[in-house]
Amino acid sequence: MAATLRKSLKTIEDYKVTNPHYTDLLDILADILILREDYRKSMTSPIFSVDDKLIAGKMEGGLPLIDLAGQKYDLTRPKEYFYSLIAIAEKRLPAEARKFLDVIKDEQFDWETIIRTSFNPNPSEEEIPDKEVKASGEHDEQLDLIDLFIEESLRPELEVVAEQYGASVEKSGWMEGYCPICGKEPKIGEIRESEDGRRYLFCHQCGYKWHFRRIKCPFCGNEEQHSLAYFAVEGEERYRVDVCNKCRRYIKIVELPKSSEDVNMDVEDIATLHLDVLAYEEGYN
């Protein structure tokens, strides 16, 4: 893991040169990766458990391995980790961090409820604890970063599950557009020329990558080729954005040549934030 961390930190430094406008976010990500590694080293036993006998049935039924919404787990450690992540923002972006703290101190902010709700793909209005805060529109940028920290707060624990059961999941032939480990929707993926252009989707919440059909929307399942498209930015042919004109959703894609090693998708996501802006401007979400 140490070698992987060093490689990711080197990539971040390289991207800070080529993408200087993302320096603050890349610095935050570097701190997160270091903190994540420290968390992993301090873990004695994971908080999430999987019943091996249920894996095949869950995969066949389209159910992710971890059901945080339906099962009780002790989330003390992830919550402590969340506030350590907020401390990173206080160090790197002190002015913005004061706004984070305003949101977090709001009586409507309940970290554990938000976490459990995030595992429910179709929450009711009553189950969305920060809906009033979001509706105000005052803290949109702060909420984006808080969402990043909330997602990251479970990452070290869920990574252990992904590493332990990833091979079993891969053999199961999972066909869904959401993560088979934790159920989260992807934001970014990759296409590998070395594997006949196969597309893989990446989960930021647990770090798992799974194969998904290239001509299919991961969000609504649309397979009509005429309503599926993509766009790219001139001079950045390595990246593209796959869009669905049926559900108006999108996913960013990194195209990797045959000789390419694995890339850190957390880093790639931040280095391509301008593609998110372009997608939003085109009416995708």
Per-residue model confidence (pLDDT) at position 121: 52
Summarised one tens digit per residue, pLDDT across range 122-169 is: 544 444 444 433 433 443 444 578 888 999 999 999 999 999 999 999
Mean pLDDT, rounded, for 86-98 = 84
115, 154 Cβ separation under 8 angstroms? yes
The pLDDT, as a whole number, for residue 190 is 96
Greatest alpha-carbon pair distance for the chain in Å reads 51
69's CB contacts (< 8 A; 6+ apart) are 116, 117, 119, 120
Closest listed residue to residue 157, CA positions, set 75, 63, 238, 47? 47
Three-state SS at 58? helix
pLDDT at 195: 73
What pLDDT shows up at residue 120?
Answer: 63
Mean pLDDT check: name the lowest of 49-53, 208-212, 254-258.
Answer: 254-258
Q: Please write the tens of the pLDDT for every residue from 55-85.
A: 999 999 999 999 887 788 999 999 999 999 9
pLDDT at 119: 73
Binned at pLDDT 50, 70 and 90, residue 187 comes out as: very high
What is the reported pLDDT for 31? 97
pLDDT digits (tens, 9 = 90+) for 217-253: 999 999 999 999 999 999 998 999 999 999 999 999 9
Q: Distance between CA 209 and CA 193 in Å, rounded?
A: 16
C-alpha distances (whole Å) from 228 to each of 90, 186, 188, 222 are 41, 17, 16, 8
Instruction: Enumerate the β-bridge partners of residue 212.
Output: 199
> What is the domain partition of the chain in residue ranges?
43-156, 185-281
Q: Is 17 exposed, middle or buried (0-12, 13-18, 19+ CB in 10 A)?
A: exposed
Residue 207 is predicted with a pLDDT of 97
Q: What is the pLDDT of residue 138?
A: 41
Q: How many CB atoms lie within 10 A of CB 2?
A: 8
How close are the terminal C-alpha atoms of the chain, in Å? Answer: 34
Q: Which two tokens stand for residue 159?
A: 């990574």
Distance CA 219, CA 121 (A): 11
75: left (phi over 0), alpha (psi -120 to 50) or beta: alpha
State residue 99's pLDDT score: 78
Q: Do residues 212 and 149 lie in contact, with contact meaning Cβ atoms separated by under 8 Å?
A: no
